[in-house]
Homo-oligomer: A and B are copies of this chain.
Amino acid sequence: MPHLTLEYTDNLAPHLAPDILPRLNRALLASSLFAESDLKSRALLLDQWCVGVEAAPRAFAHVRVALLSGRPPGAKRALAEAVLAALADACAPPPGAELQLSVEIVDIDAASYAKEVRNGR
């Protein structure tokens, strides 16, 4: 917790900062809501995708941040805005294309969340 997932369309790949995940993690850390080592992020390159039903040039990047339930709505809204700013900063729209960037915040049910940390020798 938190778990961040970035999905991006493959036409966006050349326009994405190579260090986008560290950047997004820094945006999460700056919120002061989380411990450093708890930030767990992954990116999924989408090679099968479709926006709308028209043949217009488009792209999208979507971030989902899942955090333990109980945060106030204002903190979640501010977090989404901060992550969106970091995302926008780390990618450019492909030439001639419309790029949609979005961030959603999801509550993880804290009562049933189970976690364990192990250290390899």
Contact = CB atoms under 8 A, between A and B. Distances in A.
A118 B88 contact: yes
Contacts of A50: 21-22, 24-25, 39, 41-42
A42 B49 contact: yes
A17 interface: no
Task: Specify how many copies of this chain sit in the oligomer.
Answer: 3
The residue in A52, A77, A117, A119 that gathers the most chain B C-beta atoms within 10 A of its C-beta is A52
A117 B100 contact: yes
A3 B39 contact: no
Given A22-B50, A51-B37, A92-B120, A102 B1 contact: yes
A115 B96 contact: no
Interface in A10-47: 21-22, 24-26, 29, 36-46
Contacts of A58: 37
Q: How large is the interface on A (under 10, 10 to 19, 20 to 34, 35 or more residues)?
A: 35 or more
A48 B39 contact: no
7 residue pairs, one from A and one from B, having the closest CB atoms = A93-B120, A21-B50, A43-B48, A80-B114, A76-B112, A105-B112, A84-B114
B120 A37 contact: no
A62 B22 CA distance: 19
